[in-house]
Structure 1
Amino acid sequence: MSTETTETFEFQVEARQLLHLMIHSIYSNKDVFLRELISNASDALDKIRLAALRDSSLDADISDLHIDIEADKSARTLTVRDNGIGMSRDEVVALIGTIANSGTAQFLKELKEAEDASAAEGLIGQFGVGFYASFMVADEVTLVTRRAGESQGTRWTSTGEGTYTVDTVDDAPQGTAVTLHLKPEDTEDRLYDYAEPWKIREIVKRYSDFITWPVRMAPEPRTDAGADGSGGEGAEGAENTDAAPPAPETLNSMKALWARSRDEVTDEEYHELYKHISHDWQDPLETIRLQAEGTFEYQALLFLPSHAPHDLFNQGYKRGVQLYVKRVFIMEDCDALMPSYLRFVKGVVDAQDLSLNVSREMLQQDRQIQLMNRRLAKKVLATVKDLRTKAPERYATFWREFGAVVKEGLIGDYENRDALLEVSSFATTHDEEAPTTLRQYVERMPEGQEHIFYLTGESRQALENSPHMETFRAKGIEVLLLTDPVDEVWVDSVPAYDGKQLRSVAKGEVDLGTEEEKQEAEKERKQHQEQFAGLLTWMSEHLKENVKEVRLSSRLTVSPACLVSDTHDVTPALESMYRAMGQSLPHTKRILELNPSHALVGGLNQAHGERPGDDVLAETAELLYDMALLAEGGTPNDPARFVKLMADRIERTL
């Protein structure tokens, strides 16, 4: 059988340690051993097809390239066989016989110095040793291979301990066969056996369903009983020696929709794939295809869901798309490929080559991943923009379901901020039903308006009734009504749009109207300032524990008072959000603005001039402050005292 003497090799100490690590520590899911073997077989089939195209004289059969899986439960063996390129004896020794050609000792040193498990897994990424995953489930592994064009094959055998043997065989078929002598069932804490056909089907369907080549499994051997259970031979049931053997079962679909042209795939097929990977029962809102070519090639098939999942804002929400490498499933939720504000996007990304760790379970942080993340995000945002212009109804559905999540990108994704602003829409005083884009807002701005005005709060109704809106409503100036919690954050991160600053109507001073109107308002303000100077000074001192200043307002036309923040101060809502997240912030005092045209403020000013320091005046000042808090949805500092003072005032009017 052999033309060369069998050689026995001994693993070096470092290699034995690394092999032990491979078997016992690296893989979190033992099922991946079969994925690794099928992936290696698929690569071998790709190589022989290319080799045959380049060299017409190559003595190789490529008429039926495939992968076979044979399981024998009685013998407890599992074989994965391909008729691909195969390996020579020298290649077996170089590629299979040693775990790493160099750097093993240094690698182990760095591994021992790693501070945590994730760092250890990252170091393993430089070693391509997926084949050794077989020893997680096998006591012994035998590899028989023959390189296409050569006459002799090679056998490699090892128990994964101290040694391995290599010998030459004369009758090896083209390709490679890896036979695993599975561990006894009682040595593994599992509810299934890797020789079970149903388990093999499950693993292939999960990890290798879309690879190019057919993965076939031989049928289970027939028992002595007849197929119909009638039991054995007889006059009517004698064995038919001429009957054809049952055909192998093809386990994978080979239908990688992202690798087929648009004309070859129906909407129903797209929708079926979306439902399979998302576990959603509804059709997707939109299908997105992307093919990147050049130095780094990958394909993406993404879906925008038609509704938001109930746990979209939960901390444990699993985000990311499925990652494949050469159609081999690698990761379920690869969050490195999609920014968090697009975490609802589902789909598949299939790369031709990626830097993966040995178990293919953790991506290395390299430039390719970052480039893919950026391009996928741009493609999704471009699709949403197209929806807004070409399919307004579907865009409205998308924004209603996912707008609050997309706006998270305005906080940190500076590169895509302009694109995010273009696809965003907001509730507005211009239209009670239809939201507006910033582009539409700017186009409607009257001559002389310099800023984009907005107001944040809990609901549209509360914002429309806010005293901060009074002068804007009176002058017919449009205001964006922002009611999502994220709005409190991103408005401070986006200084301007199209050269127009974003301004809160509840912050800073209000300066509206034409130049002539502004001059008239300034003249009136100076007159009021002189008239109310004493009251403002007294109230500022009396309420200094709660406010930083009391001043006259140019934004109030109906209400007696309101509270505003300085232009760059943190709003009360944002302050509460930070505290809820465990971040301690000092309390920011606000400004109490008084409406000089309101009868209550005028009466208070007159009373202060007649009897300054009166207790009733002090209580009235406190009531004005608490009323301003209530008007914006806040709570008085001392609700019981507020109720008592209000009851006393009402009683005096009866």
Structure 2
Amino acid sequence: MTGIEERQPEQHVFEADVSRLLHMMVHSVYSDKDVFLRELISNAADACEKLRYESVSQPQLSSDRAQPGILVTLNEEAQKLVIEDNGIGMSRDEMIDALGTIARSGTKAFIERLEAAKAGEKAELIGQFGVGFYSSFMVADRVDVISRRAGESEAWKWSSDGKGSYQVVAVDLAEAPARGTRVVLHLMPDEKKYTSKWTVEKIIRDQSGHVPVPIHLAEKDGEEPSQVSDGAALWIKQKGEISKQDYDDFYRSVSGQYDEPLANVHFRAEGRHEYTTLAFIPGSQPFDLFDPDRQGRMKLYVKRVFITDEAELLPRYLRFVRGIIDTSDLPLNISREMIQESPVLAAIKKGVTSRILSTLEKMAEGEAETYSKIWDLFGAIIKEGIYDDFERRSQLLKLARFRSTVSHEATRSLTDYLTAMKEGQSAIYYISGSSLDQLKSSPQLEGFRAKGIEVLLLTDGVDSFWPTNVPDFEGKPFKSVTQGLADLNAVSSEGGTDESGREASTEVKAFIEFARSALGEEVADVRVSDRLTESAVCLVASEHGPDRQLEKLLQGAGRLQTASKPILEINAQSERIRSIASIGDPAFREDAAWLLLDEARILDGDKPANPRAFADRQARLFASAIGHGK
């Protein structure tokens, strides 16, 4: 290559996030360093798949007709490990972009988790995040990447010790692959095991045995390599030919995770549209599960050629599912724009979604323990479908599981709830909030407990939204216990307790009228409560509009400029309320009314509206009590 000798290496500094990531990985101790090899092989397989895809429209890129392949070469004497592919390769700019910067939101999440993790937890983090190429620096003190992009006449070398900077320099074509990428790991002195054929072959078989590209292993430079994996697509095999270990290994290679899947969905659809699906429900939450973009991670293949992993192949509430869909009903050169508008993919999406949900239904009935794990991990995401997917709402409601005032640590279905409803009960009651403990101690639940009425305890963010969007479940409407009148009179109390003595006394009624006037515009109303049995006061929302929790969320997100005024409910049977009502001093009664309102706010998870006024009123109340004591 003319002029190579005159070219000087370009010196670059890693992007800030990359530097932080490399520093933590190099200076931490992990029990699962083997993951680096899986990551590098996965990158190599992706490069081969990208070449196959680009060659559809540009046949000259693979005019040598060489079969895609990955070669792993060991060098015990030089303590080097080399992973080489004959895929698409990288240009200079692509090399800098791919190896010097990180554009994925998952990296930040990984770094934050890694920094916060305790020593005993670190080993579980690698493999849950797509750290990819950078995992090489867990075992190597220098990494060289030599690459030649298909169709180009230049080759480039990237080199770094992982300590903050890297070099890029043009190299002679004789030093580079004819096409593709060669990654050379100069192993650390105590990582010599990665030059052992037995060790490396076992890692490849265990973690990368089902990548769709053949893998060969050579024990020395120039030695005839042996085949470790044939690159046969697992999904085209019959189920009877595939072991659980095969499925688990393929799941790890396709998902980038290091756990075991809780379930898989493997089927071939024939008829109007023909496609094969192999999907997995992970055994742990993927790092990007709550990513604001909420993109799925299913890979689309056409006739075994990888097309994209960015197509929306499942609804977003199933974005935790990992796997592949391979169809022969689309052209190989389909564009991303055509993918988004394709009626074929719309039909496939519908079919795969139905199959996954029916699998979950069967598990809920026949494998309750496993389904409970799935719900604990992904229930908050599945419930987004109750809000978004009108067509499947009834099916998703039956799949939903909830903690309630009677379930203790277990969960219950809505069918369980309907079966246990009290005579005279006309609604499915719920309360939503951010903390299970706070909800359990909420004063709004007291009357429902006294009546033996079950209340669903909803703590996920989406729980504040979907009940208002769902008219009913099998004819029973959803009703927040923090909204409107409790309507408990139609249901008899537990044990048939007589409730005739719950009428407010004349003094209490007079105090309620006084409080209504004293609090003025601060509340919509002050009234006797039929939901309180122990607490003195609580706040509820009006019958119409959002309940208390939804209103707080909307206001916090700037979606609600002015919150509606709450209703202050007072327990007419409370000894404290009766004592307050018996005191005729107007100043005392006014302080008491405002303190009761602030108490209700605190019980609702808020702060007093005016902390200084709250403290002053409390001080006057204490002074009055001390004065009477003297």
Q: What is the distance in 1 between the residues matched to 2:455 and 2:169?
A: 62
Cα distance, 1:30 vs structure 2: 9.9
Instruction: Mark the CA change 1:546 to 1:534 in structure 2 (over 3 Å): closer, same or farther.
Output: same
Helix, strand or coil: the match of 1:321? Answer: strand
Q: Cα deviations across residues 471-495 of structure 1 (Å, max 9, x unaligned)?
A: 1111211111111121111111122
Q: What is the distance in 2 between the residues matched to 1:191 and 1:601?
A: 84
Structure 1: give runs of 5+ residues left out of the alignment: 1-28, 43-67, 71-77, 83-132, 138-179, 220-225, 229-245
1:43-192 to structure 2, matched below 5 A, reads 79-80=64-65, 182-185=152-155
Instruction: Tell me the equivalent position of 1:274.
Output: 251
Instruction: Determine if contact 1:322/1:333 at 8 Å carries over to the other structure.
Output: yes
Instruction: Tell me the equivalent position of 1:574.
Output: 550
Q: Which amino acid aligns with 1:571?
A: D
Instruction: Tell me the equivalent position of 2:615.
Output: 643
Helix, strand or coil: the match of 2:521? Answer: coil
Cα distance, 1:414 vs structure 2: 0.6
- Aligned partner of 1:620 among 570, 592, 597: 592
Q: Which amino acid aligns with 2:64?
A: T
Correspondence 1:597 to 2:614: no
Q: Cα deviations across residues 178-206 of structure 1 (Å, max 9, x unaligned)?
A: xx8743458xx99797972572799xxx9
Q: What is the distance in 1 between the residues matched to 2:575 and 2:451?
A: 22
Q: What is the distance in 2 between the residues matched to 1:250 and 1:403?
A: 43
Helix, strand or coil: the match of 2:411? Answer: strand
The worse-fitting range, judged by mean Cα deviation, of 567-576 and 270-279 is: 567-576
Instruction: Mark the CA change 1:69 to 1:594 in structure 2 (over 3 Å): closer, same or farther.
Output: closer
Instruction: Mark the CA change 1:69 to 1:215 in structure 2 (over 3 Å): closer, same or farther.
Output: farther
Instruction: Mark the CA change 1:198 to 1:286 in structure 2 (over 3 Å): closer, same or farther.
Output: farther
Q: What is the distance in 2 between the residues matched to 1:348 and 1:201?
A: 27
Q: Cα deviations across residues 479-535 of structure 1 (Å, max 9, x unaligned)?
A: 1111112111111112211111111111111222557889x999877x639765544
Instruction: Tell me the equivalent position of 1:296.
Output: 273
Cα distance, 1:580 vs structure 2: 4.1
Q: What is the distance in 1 between the residues matched to 2:465 and 2:527?
A: 27
Instruction: Mark the CA change 1:472 to 1:256 in structure 2 (over 3 Å): closer, same or farther.
Output: same
Q: What is the distance in 1 between the residues matched to 2:376 and 2:249?
A: 24
Helix, strand or coil: the match of 2:266? Answer: strand
Q: Which amino acid aligns with 1:384?
A: L
- Aligned partner of 1:364 among 340, 346, 355: 340
Cα distance, 1:368 vs structure 2: 2.1
Q: Cα deviations across residues 607-627 of structure 1 (Å, max 9, x unaligned)?
A: 3xx45xx22211111001001
Instruction: Tell me the equivalent position of 1:556.
Output: 532
Instruction: Tell me the equivalent position of 1:345.
Output: 321
Q: Cα deviations across residues 281-310 of structure 1 (Å, max 9, x unaligned)?
A: 111110111322112111110000011134
Correspondence 1:315 to 2:292: yes
- Aligned partner of 2:399 among 416, 423, 428: 423
The worse-fitting range, judged by mean Cα deviation, of 446-455 and 554-563 is: 446-455
Instruction: Determine if contact 2:49/2:305 at 8 Å carries over to the other structure.
Output: no
Helix, strand or coil: the match of 2:379? Answer: helix
Helix, strand or coil: the match of 1:616? Answer: helix
Correspondence 1:460 to 2:436: yes
Cα distance, 1:315 vs structure 2: 2.1
Instruction: Tell me the equivalent position of 2:177.
Output: 196
Helix, strand or coil: the match of 2:361? Answer: helix
Instruction: Determine if contact 1:39/1:328 at 8 Å carries over to the other structure.
Output: no
1:488-499 to structure 2, matched below 5 A, reads 488-499=464-475
Instruction: Determine if contact 1:457/1:482 at 8 Å carries over to the other structure.
Output: yes
Helix, strand or coil: the match of 1:431? Answer: coil
- Aligned partner of 2:458 among 467, 482, 491: 482
- Aligned partner of 2:606 among 631, 634, 637: 634
Q: What is the distance in 2 between the residues matched to 1:33 and 1:511?
A: 63
Q: What is the distance in 1 between the residues matched to 2:169 and 2:392?
A: 47
Q: What is the distance in 1 between the residues matched to 2:50 and 2:536?
A: 74
Q: Which amino acid aligns with 1:183?
A: S
- Aligned partner of 1:587 among 533, 546, 563: 563
Instruction: Tell me the equivalent position of 1:471.
Output: 447
1:333-412 to structure 2, matched below 5 A, reads 333-334=310-311, 336-354=312-330, 363-412=339-388
Q: Which amino acid aligns with 1:380?
A: I
Correspondence 1:442 to 2:452: no
TM-score, normalised by the number of residues in structure 1? 0.63
Instruction: Determine if contact 1:209/1:251 at 8 Å carries over to the other structure.
Output: no
Helix, strand or coil: the match of 1:322? Answer: strand
Identity %: 32
- Aligned partner of 2:309 among 322, 332, 343: 332
Cα distance, 1:40 vs structure 2: 7.8
Count of residue correspondences: 465
Instruction: Determine if contact 2:400/2:413 at 8 Å carries over to the other structure.
Output: yes
Q: What is the distance in 2 between the residues matched to 1:528 and 1:514?
A: 19
Q: What is the distance in 2 between the residues matched to 1:227 and 1:297?
A: 44
Q: Which amino acid aligns with 1:332?
A: D
The worse-fitting range, judged by mean Cα deviation, of 595-604 and 302-311 is: 595-604
Helix, strand or coil: the match of 2:564? Answer: coil
Instruction: Tell me the equivalent position of 1:23.
Output: none
Instruction: Mark the CA change 1:314 to 1:517 in structure 2 (over 3 Å): closer, same or farther.
Output: closer
Instruction: Determine if contact 2:251/2:280 at 8 Å carries over to the other structure.
Output: yes
Q: Which has the larger radius of gyration?
A: 1
Helix, strand or coil: the match of 2:477? Answer: strand
Q: What is the distance in 2 between the residues matched to 1:301 and 1:30?
A: 22
Q: What is the distance in 2 between the residues matched to 1:354 and 1:633?
A: 54
Instruction: Tell me the equivalent position of 2:235.
Output: 258
Q: What is the distance in 1 between the residues matched to 2:492 and 2:549?
A: 36
Instruction: Tell me the equivalent position of 1:284.
Output: 261
Instruction: Mark the CA change 1:555 to 1:183 in structure 2 (over 3 Å): closer, same or farther.
Output: same
Q: What is the distance in 2 between the residues matched to 1:487 and 1:557?
A: 26
Q: What is the distance in 1 between the residues matched to 2:228 and 2:545?
A: 63
Q: Which amino acid aligns with 1:79?
A: D
* Bigger share in helix: 2
Helix, strand or coil: the match of 1:541? Answer: helix
Q: What is the distance in 2 between the residues matched to 1:391 and 1:358?
A: 40
Structure 2: give runs of 5+ residues left out of the alignment: 1-45, 68-87, 93-149, 157-167, 184-207
Q: Cα deviations across residues 354-410 of structure 1 (Å, max 9, x unaligned)?
A: 368655686231322222222222222221222221111111111111111111111
Helix, strand or coil: the match of 1:436? Answer: coil
Instruction: Mark the CA change 1:254 to 1:554 in structure 2 (over 3 Å): closer, same or farther.
Output: same
TM-score, normalised by the number of residues in structure 2? 0.65
Q: Which amino acid aligns with 1:269?
A: D
Cα distance, 1:593 vs structure 2: 0.7
Q: What is the distance in 2 between the residues matched to 1:303 and 1:256?
A: 16
Q: What is the distance in 2 between the residues matched to 1:349 and 1:647?
A: 69
Please give the root-mean-square deviation of Cα atoms over the aligned residues, in Å: 4.2
Q: What is the distance in 1 between the residues matched to 2:362 and 2:532?
A: 41
Instruction: Mark the CA change 1:215 to 1:307 in structure 2 (over 3 Å): closer, same or farther.
Output: closer
Q: What is the distance in 1 between the residues matched to 2:268 and 2:580?
A: 71
Cα distance, 1:32 vs structure 2: 7.5
Q: What is the distance in 2 between the residues matched to 1:452 and 1:33?
A: 52
Cα distance, 1:39 vs structure 2: 4.9
Q: What is the distance in 2 between the residues matched to 1:227 and 1:363?
A: 44
Q: What is the distance in 2 between the residues matched to 1:181 and 1:603?
A: 90
Instruction: Mark the CA change 1:227 to 1:483 in structure 2 (over 3 Å): closer, same or farther.
Output: closer
Q: Cα deviations across residues 408-431 of structure 1 (Å, max 9, x unaligned)?
A: 111111111111111110001112
The worse-fitting range, judged by mean Cα deviation, of 571-580 and 530-539 is: 530-539
Q: What is the distance in 1 between the residues matched to 2:283 and 2:522?
A: 47
Q: What is the distance in 2 between the residues matched to 1:428 and 1:227?
A: 67
